[in-house]
Amino acid sequence: MKPKIWFIHGAASSSLSFNWLKEQLSAHEPVDISYDSHTPLSDTIAHLRNEVSKDAVPPIIIGHSLGGVIAVAIAQQVPVAKIVTMGSPFGGSFAASVMRWFIPSQLMKDIAQQSPIMVDIQSNTPNIPILSFVTDSNLTVMGERTDGVVTVKSQKALNGPTYVTVPVNHFEVLLSPYVAAKIKTFVER
């Protein structure tokens, strides 16, 4: 039986984001996780925690962007073998903190810096192996380095992960041979 890897996409994306990466990890059974960013993030996390708890063997979870936040939140309460994140906004988004007042949406509320989920994952990081790719496209927006979507500072807001900074933008990370090789080594260890 192949080990399961759950793939959790970012907000406003789909499991298609991982097609190339899944080919690089063909020795594993991929499980595509989909969610709707209009649904409260706490409900999505609760549902996925329930699904993980049904598996006899804890899965490896790979999450891109908001998918990485979801992965860490799942692992706070149910067994997960390992986590890989890419460009994940663990410190929330300053822009969302401001924009939620002008564009009231569930996503803006959930990814704001002061949202309960963002605050909780920063204070309660699971004690499991976490490999976190920090995407840095050398772009400065509002005085902070970003990958074009998420600030480098937000990506490094958790204590505990092994951080690997890669000079790619928020989406190029999903197609990086370097990142794929590092993930393969990490999940097969």
Instruction: For residue range 2-50, list pLDDT tens digits in order.
Output: 789 999 999 999 999 999 999 999 889 999 999 999 999 999 999 999 9
C-alpha–C-alpha distance, residues 41 and 30, integer Å: 23
Confidence bin at 139 (pLDDT 50/70/90): confident
Per-residue pLDDT for 1 more than 70? no
Confidence bin at 143 (pLDDT 50/70/90): confident
Residues 125-134 have a mean pLDDT of: 97
Instruction: Give pLDDT, residue 94.
Output: 83
Q: Burial level of 145, CB count in 10 A (0-12/13-18/19+)? A: middle
Q: For residue 135, how many other CB atoms are within 10 A of its CB?
A: 28
Contact residues for 116 (Cβ-Cβ < 8 A; gap 6+): 42
CA angle 49, 52, 55 (to 5 degrees): 155
C-alpha–C-alpha distance, residues 98 and 181, integer Å: 38
Per-residue pLDDT for 128 more than 80? yes
C-alpha–C-alpha distance, residues 97 and 60, integer Å: 31
CA angle 20, 68, 122 (to 5 degrees): 160
Read off the pTM. Answer: 0.95
Domains present along the chain, CATH in parentheses:
4-90+118-188 (3.40.50.1820)
* 161 beta partners: none
Q: What is the mean pLDDT of the chain?
A: 94
